[in-house]
């Protein structure tokens, strides 16, 4: 059975590519366009991993990450943060709030795929 991945980003221009990429890699893909939508989707779909953008309307990626980690049922969801915020302090904040990994935009899709595989415990 293929693993489910949630992609949360408010920019359609990246959603197209990521959705295509992940589907191509054989994952089942769900998308969300803001923080609140992402939370609902996580609860409903229980994805194995979330690609989470930081700068989103309604709720930021930091908020989503924080709430997921605070929830009894969802806390084991893997989170890979994707963000245009490149400062050390932002990386530190993301990791402190419970993100499993952090990638700064722009990134190469190959690395992204590799990272996702690693996190899901699949050998490259």
Partner 1 sequence: MSGQKRTDRRLWWLLAAAAVLSIGWLVLTFALVGSTLEPGARAGVAELMGDRWLLISLTWGAGMAAIAWALKRWFDHWVTPSVQLAEEAQVLLRTDVVRELKPKGNVETKVLADLFNQLVGQREELRRLMDEKVQAAAQGIEQEKSRLAALMSELTQSVVVCNLDGRILLYNNRARMQFKALSQAPGVAGGAELIGLGRSIYAVFDRKLVAHALDNIQQRMLRGAAQPSAQFVTSTAAGQLLRVQMAPVRSVQAQMAAAAADRAELSGFVLMLDNITRDFEDESARDQVLHTLTERSRAALANMQAALDMLDYPDIEPAMRERFLGVIRDETRTLGQRIKEVESGSANSLKTRWPLEEMLGSDLVGAAIRRIETMTGLPASPVDVDGALWLKVESFTLMQALVYLAGRLSDEFEIRFVQLRLSPASGSAGKAQLDLMWSGQAMSTETVMSWEMDAMKVGNETLRLTVRDVIERHGGAFWFERDRARHQAFFRFLLPLANPQEQVDFATFVRNESRPEYYDFDLFKTTEQTRSLDDRKLVDLVYTVFDTETTGLNPSDGDEIIQIGATRIVNGKLLRQECFEQLVDPRRPIPAASIPIHGIQPEMVVGQPVIEEVLPAFHAFAQDTVLVAHNAAFDMRFLQIKEKKTGIVFDHPVLDTLLLSAVVHPNQDSHRLEAIAERFNVTIIGRHTAMGDAMVTAEILIKLIPLLAEKGIHTLGQAREAAQQTYYARLKY
Pick the closer one to partner 1 by CB: 12 or 40.
Answer: 12
Q: How far is the CB of 52 from partner 1 (least distance, A)?
A: 14
Nearer to partner 1, 13 or 72 (CB): 13
Going from the C-alpha of 20 to that of each of 23, 31, 93, 114, the distances in angstroms are 5, 11, 29, 16
Taking the least distance from each CB to partner 1, the nearer of 110 and 124 is: 110
Closest separation between CB of residue 73 and partner 1, Å? 31
Sequence-separated (6 or more) residues with CB below 8 Å from residue 110: none
Nearest CA to 50 out of 58, 87, 86, 67 is that of: 67
Of 64 and 67, which CB lies nearer to partner 1 in the complex structure? 64
Which residues lie near partner 1 (CB under 8 A)? Answer: 11, 13-14, 16-18, 20-21, 24, 55, 82, 84-86, 104-110
Provide, rounded to whole angstroms, the least separation between the CB of residue 44 and partner 1. Answer: 26
Q: How many other C-beta atoms are found inside a 10 Å radius of the C-beta of residue 67?
A: 18
On whether the CB atoms of residues 6 and 30 are closer than 8 A, the answer is yes
């Amino acid at each position: 059975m293929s693993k489910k991945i949630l992609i949360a980003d408010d920019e359609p221009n990246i959603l197209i590519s990521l959705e295509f990429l992940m589907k191509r890699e054989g994952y089942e893909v769900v998308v969300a366009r803001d923080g609140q939508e992402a939370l609902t989707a996580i609860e409903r779909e229980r994805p194995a991993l979330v690609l989470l953008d930081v700068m989103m309307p309604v709720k930021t990626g930091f908020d989503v990450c924080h709430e997921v980690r605070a929830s009894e049922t969802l806390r084991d969801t893997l989170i890979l943060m994707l963000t245009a915020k490149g400062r050390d302090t932002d990386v530190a904040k993301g990791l402190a709030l419970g993100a499993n990994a952090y990638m700064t935009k722009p990134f190469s899709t190959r690395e992204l795929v590799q990272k996702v595989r690693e996190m899901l415990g699949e050998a490259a």
